[in-house]
Amino acid sequence: MDTFGIVGGGIAGLAVARVLGRNGYQVTVFEPDMPATGFSADDAFTDWVRPHIAQLRQPHSARSIIRKLLVERDPELYRAVLDGGMIEWPFRLPDFGDEEYDPELVGFLGRRPTFEKALRAVVERTPGVTFVTERVTGLNADPANPRRLAGVTTKSGAVHDFDAVVECTGRRSKLMDWLQGLGLRRPTEIEQDCGIIYYSRYFRFREGVRIDHGNYPSGPSANLSTLQYTMNRTDNGTFSLMLGVAPWEPLFNHLKDERVFMDVARALPGTMSWLAPELSEPIWRVEWFTGLVNRHRTFTQDGRPILENLFILGDSRFHTNPIFGWGMGLALRQSAMLVDALSAGGGIAAAVARFEAEADIYGRKHFEASAGEDRARMKYWKGELAEPQTPGTPEYFVTQVQPAAFRDPGIYRAVTRRAHLLDDPLEILGNGEVNRRAAAIPRVDHTKMSRVEIMGIVEASARRHLDETRLKLAVRA
């Protein structure tokens, strides 16, 4: 049976290891970080040392596509994820009742360490899969064929040979340099700024609190001018709050101060139903993530894959604005594509060609959808979309269709299916029925709070806490 070397044991690497192992292949996963074996979900969240994943403690939505793939293809993993603490959650809007409810719109809620720990435990017991706790430092060319790899080299200098290599090292991947190092042409890359900085924090509900979900799919959320926020219930009585803010507003830097973060968070519409001090308490510091970009890489050159036994999956292939919560679902979808490409027969080279053709289109569509929506959101936040927009454009989608989703169950269903990776991400822009229904709803400014109001809250909080700090220092002196 063919042997596979998987570089990177994050979500994409683990998902591929699982599908390959279940299909009888011999798989070695190279992952430098130690697993969370033996930790409880709470300990994994606080104590798991994962230096290669900067986003480990950022909120991670597990979209409905993940549950759908597990239910349809891997019931054992589906059960393990639930046993590990993830909550199965129907993404319905309470006001709509059961009207047009879609049974596929069911995802998981939980923290990323909880999900990843459950996934890793199942992969570890999958026949044919072994782990090597080491970093890969480069890809090795096959001396007999420049279009093939022989395997990989690790940090200790050990050389490992495989029939195929699967690259899953995430958004900081060194793959482009490795390929160039082999004397290959650098793959083309497109990139667009996400126009957002992420701030987030995790909390735990106090004992006995009845959780009020309000009229939200999973927790209070809104897109305000210059700021978007989402609260999500997560596993073991915890919840997350994510604030995505405009990078061009330097005052938002004060959100790194947890006192300012909490003042701003508590001033947002609907948040106090979870954040009031008598209801919950923080369990972690404020985390932030800057420099976010949408990125897509093309690994086909002159009509054929760059190498005939290299698969590239997950964030190192393409990634989108994390605010959409797509990365893990996209990774699992690509792992299914890979195994389907192998199952179609013809050997590894044929499978790489098939996979490349499908994954490239898939990646490009999600890149375009994410980048288009980001461009529109940036204009919206800058006040440039006051006039009615043209149906079929991302600008119309952001200003007319998305707000209308809270008023019309049909639009809600279409928008939420796309958000959960169940439908083509670009198709909704030209969906005549959705656009007609959205046009019938008077345009409401769903931003609820103006830019001036939001920046005023940030500034007042920052000043107050700066004065407090100055006072403390003066007293100490």
Ligand X SMILES: Cc1cc2nc3c(=O)[nH]c(=O)nc-3n(C[C@H](O)[C@H](O)[C@H](O)COP(=O)(O)OP(=O)(O)OC[C@H]3O[C@@H](n4cnc5c(N)ncnc54)[C@H](O)[C@@H]3O)c2cc1C
Residue of 33, 100, 340, 424 interacting with ligand X (CB under 6 A): 33
Our CB check for ligand X shows the closer of 319 and 413 to be: 319
**Is residue 58 close enough to count as binding ligand X by CB under 6 A?**
yes
Judged by CB under 6 A, the chain residues 172 through 191 that form the site for ligand X are none
Residue with tokens 């994943």: 53
Residues touching ligand X: how many (CB under 6 A)? 36
Question: How many C-alpha atoms does 93 have within 13 Å on its Cβ side?
Answer: 20
**Is residue 331 close enough to count as binding ligand X by CB under 6 A?**
yes
CA distances from 313 to 44, 53, 371 (A): 25, 16, 20
What is the nearest approach in angstroms of ligand X to the Cβ of residue 460? 28
- Stretch of 75-83, 209-217, 312-320, 469-477 contacting ligand X, by CB under 6 A: 312-320
**Is residue 280 close enough to count as binding ligand X by CB under 6 A?**
no
**Is residue 53 close enough to count as binding ligand X by CB under 6 A?**
yes
Give the separation between CA 14 and CA 33, rounded to whole angstroms: 13
Our CB check for ligand X shows the closer of 29 and 462 to be: 29
Query: HEC string of 351-405?
Result: HHHHHHHHHHHHHHHHHHHHHHHHHHHHHHHCCCCCCCCCCCCHHHHHHHHHHHC
**Is residue 35 close enough to count as binding ligand X by CB under 6 A?**
no
Query: With 0-12 CB in 10 A as exposed, 13-18 as middle and 19+ as buried, what is 266?
Result: middle
CA distances from 364 to 197, 204, 322, 325 (A): 23, 38, 16, 17
What is the nearest approach in angstroms of ligand X to the Cβ of residue 8? 3
Residue of 308, 315, 408, 423 interacting with ligand X (CB under 6 A): 315
| Sign, CA torsion 319/320/322/328 | negative
Left (φ > 0), alpha (ψ -120 to 50) or beta: where does 392 sit? Answer: left
What is the nearest approach in angstroms of ligand X to the Cβ of residue 137? 7
What is the nearest approach in angstroms of ligand X to the Cβ of residue 311? 12
Could you tell me if 372 and 431 are in contact, meaning their C-beta atoms sit under 8 angstroms apart? no
What is the nearest approach in angstroms of ligand X to the Cβ of residue 309? 18
| Sign, CA torsion 73/76/79/80 | negative
Residue of 289, 353, 379, 465 interacting with ligand X (CB under 6 A): 289
Residue of 31, 42, 356, 408 interacting with ligand X (CB under 6 A): 31
**Is residue 52 close enough to count as binding ligand X by CB under 6 A?**
yes
Give the separation between CA 115 and CA 96, rounded to whole angstroms: 30
- Stretch of 51-59, 84-92, 178-186, 421-429 contacting ligand X, by CB under 6 A: 51-59
Residue of 69, 168, 227, 369 interacting with ligand X (CB under 6 A): 168
Residue of 73, 135, 379, 446 interacting with ligand X (CB under 6 A): 135
**Is residue 61 close enough to count as binding ligand X by CB under 6 A?**
yes
Question: Taking Cα atoms as reference points, which of 71, 94, 93, 96 lies closest to residue 81?
Answer: 71
Length of the chain: 477
**Is residue 55 close enough to count as binding ligand X by CB under 6 A?**
yes
Residue with tokens 């009509």: 303
Tell me which residues touch ligand X (CB under 6 A): 7-13, 30-33, 52-53, 55, 58-61, 135-136, 168-170, 198, 289, 314-316, 319, 322, 325-329, 331
